[in-house]
Amino acid sequence: MGTPVSVVILAKDELDRLPAALASVRWADEVLVADTGSTDGTPEMARAAGARVEEIPWEGFVASRTRALALATHDWVFSLDADERVPERLRDEILAALAGDDGSFAGLSMPRLSTLLGRPVRHGVWFPDVQFRIGRRSRGFRVTGGRVHESFAVDGPVRRLSTPLRHEPYRDLPDALRKASLYAALAAADRASQGAPAGVGALAVRPALEFFRSLVVKRGFLDGATGVTVAFLHGWYYFLRAAFRVEAETGAARAAERRTEGA
């Protein structure tokens, strides 16, 4: 008997992508889908595939993932997204590491290989994109972060595996642009709550620098047109983040002026 592991997937309206994720983790002792309000039949499909399904409220990425982790049965938990897949070599690495668990590590991380419109992205800011996703709850495996780009932490060493997790983040280009806008708005709200000012540099300079970093410094050009698209999306995200901050600050300033005029 190996060390048992629970795979936890936070999902909403993932009928098209979740089946592949579930198929890639059939080896797990428990597969839990925490559904946050799907209307497309995702819970029914997950149950038919053998997963345990729990319906939870959407409270933001950190709070909902924390709630989902707490529902897992086993001490070792693997947090997986519906747009991710575990290839066989990674599965074997995970099982071998857990079989040899001697208490010297509290978590496992791995690189992540994303695809954009069907093409793998092996350079630029998207790779190696190391993800820490497997940890022991008895060693404090938990979710941290703000409104978006949450991460995981654990009390103890994390061992890094070598085989990449596969990631298919966007259904199409409109989906990529929509998500860039959503995540940028959430990140802008985080920065506002931290007191970070909006400035011309963040709006005009940072996006260009991030585009250059992804395409040239991180050698995204080696991925051809795909690398250029990734660099554009990366720079576009930073532009939108700054634009949302400027919009919020401008709106706050106008509201203050109106209050002053009405006093």
User: Does the structure show a pLDDT above 70 at 263?
Assistant: no
Taking phi first (over 0 means left), then psi (-120 to 50 degrees means alpha), and beta for anything else, what does residue 108 get? Answer: beta
Instruction: Tell me the three state secondary structure of residue 9.
Output: strand
Contact call for residues 68 and 82 (beta carbons, < 8 A): no
Question: CA–CA separation, 82 vs 170, rounded Å?
Answer: 11
Over the chain, what is the mean pLDDT? 93
Comparing C-alpha atoms, which of 4, 157, 161, 166 is closest to residue 92? 161
CB 42 within 8 A of CB 15: yes
Q: How far is CA 76 from CA 44, 69, 116, 231, in A?
A: 26, 10, 31, 36
Would you kindly state where each structural domain of the chain is located, as residue ranges?
A: 5-167, 173-262
Q: Residue 66 pLDDT more than 70? A: yes
Average pLDDT of the residues in 201-223: 94
- The answer on pLDDT for 252 being more than 60 is no
pLDDT digits over 91-133, tens only? 999 999 999 888 999 999 999 999 998 999 999 999 999 999 9
Question: What distance in Å separates the CA atoms of residue 109 and residue 136, rounded to the nearest whole number?
Answer: 12
Bond into 174 cis (ω within 30)? no
pLDDT of residue 191: 85
Which CA distances in Å does 16 have to 19, 120, 153, 177? Answer: 7, 20, 30, 19
Buried b or exposed e, range 143-158, using 16+ CB within 10 angstroms: beebbbebebebeeeb
pLDDT on residue 202? 83
Whether domain 5-167 has CATH 3.90.550.10: the reply is yes
pLDDT band, very low/low/confident/very high, at 195 (cuts 50, 70, 90): confident
Q: Tokens 């350079």, residue?
A: 123
CB-neighbour burial class of residue 106 (10 A; exposed 0-12, middle 13-18, buried 19+)? buried
pLDDT category at 201 given cuts 50, 70, 90 is confident
Span 202-215, average pLDDT: 94
3-class DSSP assignment, residue 187: helix
